[in-house]
Amino acid sequence: MLRAIRAVGSGEAIFSPSIAVRLMDYFANVRPTAAPQVFPELSDREREILDLIAQGHKNAEIAARLVLSPKTVRNHVSNILDKLQVADRARAIIRAREAGLG
């Protein structure tokens, strides 16, 4: 009892063996809650469209698939190119595939 009082007094913690095993198991099995988001500067919709672009879909196909107007898709593509600071769709595809999209 005296050892426990001294330990707690010096900032240590005292656990029973069963609690210590549970704590070690918990911290040994901690997994990251979420993977880092690819291209955090993009909105979820822009990331979705970039993924479809990287898969080789044309704007009209993306519009039909996402039930958007072709003009809306063009606007998203333009925003994607600006945010990724790339000159064209081909460079955006390369960046997306390097990041694991497509």
Rounded distance between C-alpha atoms, residue 83 and residue 48, angstroms:
14
pLDDT digits 0-9 by tens, 10-23: 888 888 888 888 88
- What does the block give as tokens for 84? 């990724």
51: left (phi over 0), alpha (psi -120 to 50) or beta: alpha
The percentage of residues in the chain with a pLDDT greater than 90, rounded to a whole number, is: 62
AA letter at 28: A
Give me 79's structure tokens. Answer: 């925003």
Q: Which tokens go with 10?
A: 């010096």
Give the whole-angstrom CA distance, residue 50 versus residue 90.
11
pTM: 0.66
Residue range 50-75, pLDDT digits in tens: 999 999 999 999 999 999 999 999 99
How many helices, marked H, and strands, marked E, lie in the chain? 6, 0
**At CA 93, angle to CA 75 and CA 38, rounded to 5?**
85
Spans of all domains in the chain:
1-31, 44-98
The CATH code of the domain at 44-98 is: 1.10.10.10
Give the lowest-confidence range in 30-34, 45-49, 82-86, 97-101: 30-34
